Amino acid sequence: MASVRDEYPSGLRVLMQNESVGYMIDALMDMPGTTFSKSQLADNAGVSRQSVHTHITLLVNLRIVTEVAESNPVEYTLNDGDEIIRLLHQLEGVVNRRLNPNVDD
């Protein structure tokens, strides 16, 4: 069954199939409005530069990040208005409320 899930992954599986991607997305959500290089993302996410190099294309293709026009070397920025980012912020809020139900009291 796992091989079928790997062959036809759900959207969540695509985002979380590699631990580094999860760390990268988590770090990016703390960097709204910031431009960053691959090295800066690696440092902020606590992953290797090779991991960022390997997975940045996925984040660009999903429109989670966008390349900053005319930057050399290429820099990126979080696409704050993207549907996936909005949904991840909502998910983060729900998880936090459920794990910490008395925080708002």
Give the residue, 14 or 90, on which the prediction is more confident.
90
pLDDT, averaged across the chain: 91
Please tell me the distance from the alpha carbon of residue 1 to that of residue 82, in angstroms, as a whole number: 32
Q: Tell me, what's the pLDDT at 40?
A: 96
Residue 54 lies in a domain: yes
Q: What is the CATH number of the domain that holds 94?
A: 1.10.10.10
Number of domains forming the structure of the chain: 1
* Mean pLDDT, range 73-77, rounded to an integer: 95
Give the residue, 105 or 68, on which the prediction is more confident.
68
**Residue numbers of the domain that contains 69:** 2-99
Q: Which of 7-16, 58-67, 71-80, 86-95 has the lowest mean pLDDT?
A: 7-16
